[in-house]
Structure 1
Amino acid sequence: MKIAIVDDLKLDAEQLSHLIFSYMKEHRIPTAAPEIFPNGKTFLASFTVGSFDIVFLDIYMDGLSGMETAQKLRALDASCRIVFVTTSPDFAVDSYDVNAAFYLLKPVTMERVSKALERCHLSADEAEVSVLVPCQGTELRLPLHQISYTEYLKRRILVHMRDRSQHEISMNQRDFSALLLSYPWFCDCIKGVLVNLEDVDKLLEDRFLMKSGASIPISRLKYRDVREQYIQYSYHLVRGGPHL
């Protein structure tokens, strides 16, 4: 689950980030710390389809307002959840035009943030953790926990799913890796290949043995780091914790 906060008040953004991350941890929803942007222009400059699952937008900002930012965001991504954050309810009606999930009034509290995230229908269920990617002339919402491993072949990403199906993604390896490696259960084990540690059966001296029977080689130069990541993942799993 990837979350962005767009707010030109740094202290407000940091407080909101802390509350969001605390909620996610308590409800065992896998996520990284929210990424904070100081204004709408900076956010949109780096935004691509599927970059974030939820965006918290302050309405009153210098330059692009939160509402203007939301309109541009919605034109790019119809699935991303939008939560407005503001000191006034004046734009509550307008928020429906961009299909906002919630209208969060400042000062934010854990109770209000919890309501906002509940309205986003968050779940630890694996289907909720997904990215939107280009696939065969259209867009595919790819459920990340259902991936077994991916490989870069002939300028395309071949995604091997845990149910043995495959998807061909029209992305370069760098951009695709940036999407998946932000989730710590994915591992970059050798050039052009990403492995979902959830689908690993065994770690051998030079490769991963997947539950499907596939054998994925591990780069000799990367083996130490890969082994450490797998040990940490296994430790959290045994402890009954959330995905890393």
Structure 2
Amino acid sequence: MGYKIAICDDSDIDRKYVNDMVCHWAKDNGYMIHVDEFPSAESFLFKYEDENDYDIILLDIEMDGMDGVTLAKRLRKVNENIQIVFITGYSDYIAEGYEVAALHYLMKPVKEGKLLSVLDRASDKLQKNEKVLNFDVNGEMVRVPIYQIRYVEVYGNYVTIHAQQELTVKMTLGEVEKQLDDRFYRVGRSSIVNLTQISRVTKSDIKLSDGTLIHLPRGSYDGVNRAIINMG
């Protein structure tokens, strides 16, 4: 297993400190890693134009020039898969992390145990995101990464997969459900929802981050919330 990791922080001392811990994590887990350090958001973006294959970015928020939250927003527009970990001396920015689906916030000074735990989570998510579903659409094989699926809904003998593109295929909801993982929750008989895409749950509806509303059957409210809490 190999990962390409960026450390973006305007403090030379903090970058080296984090880099040492990242290398320790990789050695303990037998991972091959490539680590690049960047003293500013602008320097990272310059490199990213040519090399946009970073798996994880450990990102300071308070930097001269472009701040880390602004960089994360720009990254997320073009890359859904990169794992963003904010490093900050303040807790004021946590709400903004939801907008860019940040994996975690680490408070300075970063504790090694917490960083290693977050890197383990990032690795798990990246491995999950490698999984794809294969669908036969009009005689053509279409591959859909599981993490791109927002929700699945059924109409009669067909299901529609809502991802970056919408696909309608002849199969049952149960057949799709068996191929998904613990990020997904079946909502009654008609739909399956990606728990990571949920922005709000009410007694009657689930609202996804793209604004989609999915009807929540009576008695399902507690189950959805438990699934979100228990999600690996």
What residue is the counterpart of 2:229 in the other structure?
none
Whether 1:96 and 2:131 are equivalent positions in the alignment is no
Tell me, in whole angstroms, the C-alpha distance in 2 between the residues paired with 1:71 and 1:123.
19
The answer to whether 1:40 aligns with 2:56 is no
Aligned to 1:109: 111
Q: Distance in 1 between matches of 2:125 and 2:21?
A: 17
Distance in 2 between the 1:66 and 1:111 partners?
23
1:29 match: 31
Number of aligned residue pairs: 132
Q: Which residue of 2 aligns with 1:64?
A: 66
Local SS of the residue matching 2:6: strand
Unmatched tracts of structure 2, length 5 or more: 131-142, 146-232
Q: Name the CA shift for 1:92/1:140 in 2 (closer, same or farther; >3 Å).
A: same
How far does residue 21 in structure 1 lie from its aligned partner after superposition? 1.0
CA distance in 1, matches of 2:28, 2:126: 11
For 1:25 and 1:124, the matched residues in 2 are separated by: 18
Contact 1:4-1:54 at 8 Å conserved across structures: yes
Contact persistence 1:30–1:124 (CA under 8 A):
no
The alpha carbon displacement at 1:103 in A equals 0.6
> How big is each residue's C-alpha offset from its partner over 1:20-58, in whole Å with a ceiling of 9 and x where there is no partner?
1101110112212x2000100110111147420000110
Give the TM-score normalised by structure 2.
0.51
- 8 Å CA contact 2:5–2:36 kept in 1: the answer is yes
Amino acid at match of 1:56: L
CA distance in structure 1 between the partners assigned to 2:113 and 2:104 by the alignment? 13
Q: Distance in 2 between matches of 1:79 and 1:57?
A: 15
**SS of the residue aligned with 2:106?**
strand
Contact 2:58 2:84 in 1 (8 A): yes
Find out whether 1:76 has 2:71 as its counterpart: no
User: What TM-score do the two structures reach when normalised by structure 1?
Assistant: 0.49
- SS of the counterpart of 1:71? helix
Preserved contact between residue 85 and residue 105 of structure 1 (Cα < 8 Å):
yes
The residue number in structure 1 matching 2:149 is none
Residues 122 and 21 of structure 1, relative CA distance in 2, 3 Å threshold? farther
Q: Alignment identity in percent?
A: 31
Identify the residue that residue 221 of structure 2 maps to in structure 1: none
Question: AA paired with 2:12?
Answer: K
> C-alpha displacement at 1:118, in angstroms?
2.2
Shift of 1:125: 6.8
Aligned 1:114-153 pairs, distance under 5 A: 114-122=116-124
Partner of 2:94: helix, strand, or coil? coil
Cα offset, 1:127, TM superposition: 8.2
Matched, 1:15 2:17: yes
Q: CA deviation at 1:122?
A: 3.6
RMSD: 2.9
- Whether the 8 Å contact between 1:83 and 1:100 is mirrored in structure 2 is yes
The verdict on how the C-alpha distance between 1:123 and 1:60 changes in structure 2, with shifts beyond 3 A counting, is closer
How far apart in 1 are the matches of 2:67 and 2:37?
16
User: Matches of 2:118 and 2:127 in 1, distance apart?
Assistant: 18
C-alpha contact (below 8 Å) 2:84/2:103 kept by paired residues = yes
Relative to 1, partners in 2 of residues 1:13 and 1:140: Cα closer, same or farther, differing over 3 Å? Answer: farther
Structure 1: distance between partners of 2:72 and 2:63: 12
Query: Which structure 2 residues correspond to residues 211-222 of structure 1 after superposition, within 5 A?
Result: none
User: Using the alignment, how far apart are the partners of 2:72 and 2:7 within structure 1?
Assistant: 12
